[in-house]
Structure 1
Amino acid sequence: MIPGFIEMKVHPSGINSTDGNGEHGARCNPAYEADEPMGDPVYANGQLKFVQPRNQRPFERESVYRQDSKEHEGRVLARACAATTVFVLVSIVIAILTVFIVLFVLDDEIQYRDVLIVGFSQSQGQVTLTNETWDDDFNDSSSEKYRALENDFKEAMDFTYKRSNLAGAYNSTDVREFRQGSVIVEFTVYLNGPTPSVRTLPANADDLQQQTEDAISADIMAVLNSETNDGVLVELPIVNADITKVVVPIETQPGTAVNQPPESEPPVVTCPDDIKEKTNVGQSSTDVFWNPPIATDNSGRVVLIESFPVSGSEFHLGLTEVIILAHDEAGNVGTCAFTVSITDEESPYITCPGDISEIVDESMSTKEVYWDNPEVSDNSGGPVEVSSLPEEGYPFPIGVTEVVAVATDSTGNAASCIFIVEIIDEENPIIVCPQDIVVNAEPGRATAGVTWPAAVATDNSDQELTPTADRQSGDYGIGRHVITYSVQDPSGNTAECTFNVTVLGESTDI
């Protein structure tokens, strides 16, 4: 130690000290420990020393030390307050800069711009029909098979999109061609139509044209993907749907940037219950009315509610789906659907042909008969099935037969009428008598007992006939006797035959 100096010991919790873990102490006021009262502080050789004057008394040195300690404590507190003030000011500046960046710099990244679609958007795509087998006729757009599949596909697409969230924008679908594998359909979907429509896209997009095309492609694919799993298109069915190209004529509208994305929640629409009505008498349709649908939107305002078809429209026989569209101010579309079922409970009308009479052919017991079809009509205007019992061309037997004709419409309603078919038999039966009989009377007797087999009769009617004789077997006197058999068929035709019975005796003169 240098003579005349006393080394300072700083308390472990002082501002320049460290604890056992190397951490600064928490207190700002240092406490000093010295071997003896210290004098004035002096820096020497890089160390702080306190000079103790030789001629200063102990109590005087202690008083000086206390005064110096208070001055040192004040300087430390001043420096701490200054550091705190600087820290607070820096924090405020950082907060202000953060708010500025969020409001004025990052704001540009979330702005959006309205894009005006000024004409038809053409979205080209392809789908694969897995339940169709390729036919070379699909290469010929004029063939019946091509036109039939084209019509089925277009009807399915129309039905699907007109009941989707794109119903307000959908216009039509065209088939460009069919290709093998099983059958790949190349098609074009047209949206928007001649009336301009607006889409809202990020304003800082590098390519608004591409952004618009991508958005429309995604919308069309979303409908296809949902309907191929559960919808009318699954009846085809469709797999591997893809939109290959979108062409959209657009114009950007200046000054339409907004600070948040467009509201995308569609209105909620509640449809009426399904409706069931009967056709008007003598007609295939009836006018149907329903209560207005109820629509709500998170914006609090629904701009337009559309119905396809509208209430009061004429609905024809069968099941018709009514689609309700609700539009909000942001262009979102909510949909719901219900069905209108028109039933036909009216029987068709039928008029039978007149009664028919035919003469049976020779040696025949039946005759096939044909007639003009009964006259039929139905309120549905649709086909009416006609049947008869017996059927036309049936081999009708001799006599009178009642024919029942029945007309049945497509919903199972039936009506009937009756006419007569008469088959006339003008052919006489055939009768065969026994052979002539000759018998001898016993000597001394004037009579003899005679018997014979019955005559046999047949007829084209195939009916069993029993001939009758004018005389029966028994005793016959000497001489010749004529026996006559006669027969009549069910139609009244008759026949006769005769044979002789001769009895010989002593005085017989033949």
Structure 2
Amino acid sequence: MEYKELPEVIYCPADITIETWYRSPYVNVTWTSPNITDNVGILEIVSNYHSGDVFHLGVTTVVYNATDTALNFNHCHFTITVIDVEKPYFENCSLDIAVPNVPGSAYSNVTWTIPTAYDNSRIPPHVTSDADPGDVFPLYDTIVTYTAVDESNNVELCRFKVTVYDVDFPYFTNFTDDVQVFIDSIHSNVTVDWDPPYPADNSGVLPLLESTHQPGDTFQIGVTMVTYTATDETGNTMTHTFTVTIRVAFTDLRTILFNGTDDVDILQVSAIAVNRGKGRDLTDNEIDDLEVMLLSMSSASEDIGNREPKVMTEELINVTTTVIDRKKNMAQQIDIVLASEILLKKIVTRQTNTTVKKSSERVASNIELVENAVWSFHFETKEKLLDS
């Protein structure tokens, strides 16, 4: 009797999807063996894989073939899919890096060891980066990112921070010189203006500028220190300091006359004192001080100064006429005119290196080389007396 009935598959495992082991491209897979029966008896069941075998990434078909004693056969098959859900991984991903800027610049060249990417699949992942060792980095913080992508599109990042810290101090593109202001004796303070220093920084960002005083502030008699402080974004600071000196013109002149000095232009101080005193009646003592100044300078052997002759001439005329207006004694007026003539000669000969004409000629001729020099009416009047 011939039997044609096939073996019956009572149970066949379902398809299996499984992840690889950690850092491995494979996994051991187990399952329950199929249940296959037959009415005349099973001769053999043969399979290409067995529960517990190692399966690599990808899809593998497992087949069980059953043959009964009548040589009828049937089969059971299912798939095992090993998937990679594990991200690639980096070795020697750099730690955060901090370097100083190149002096005088807003950047630095930064190097590091390139990280190496691996994957459990044993296939090197594709690696990209947004920066390379040796690149130029600007001041402050930049994030560098390396991206590794494996064959299964799993992604891993290596990230580190590159900090270029600013070691340069801010600086000033211009400086304010010491300021000196003369005032009249009827005042005790004065407002003072100046051009503030302008700060700059290697970063290109304008530093914060603070100061102890501002242009237009009121200053008392004496010396005041003014300090400007520039602070950049990193906190580096630079200061610029100058002095504001408020002096009383006639007080300074009297100090010079009584104590002497080597570093003060007496004519200039005298002219300033006269100008600051305009609008009020100068005291007799102030007029006497101006007279003493003219007489002492004319009899002194040293140079009168080295400023522009036109300016010095105008200052001398201003001071001399102021004294003559108040000194009504003819002898005193003549002495003052003679002293002024001597001083004018000093100005002209030093500045033009010329020989001055004799004093009996008009004083105005002695300064004809001084551009736009003007001889006052008082001088012309007193010269007539001198000539007579």
Q: TM-score, normalised by structure 1?
A: 0.39
Give the TM-score of the pair, scaled to structure 2: 0.48
Structure of greater Rg: 1
Greater share of helix: 2
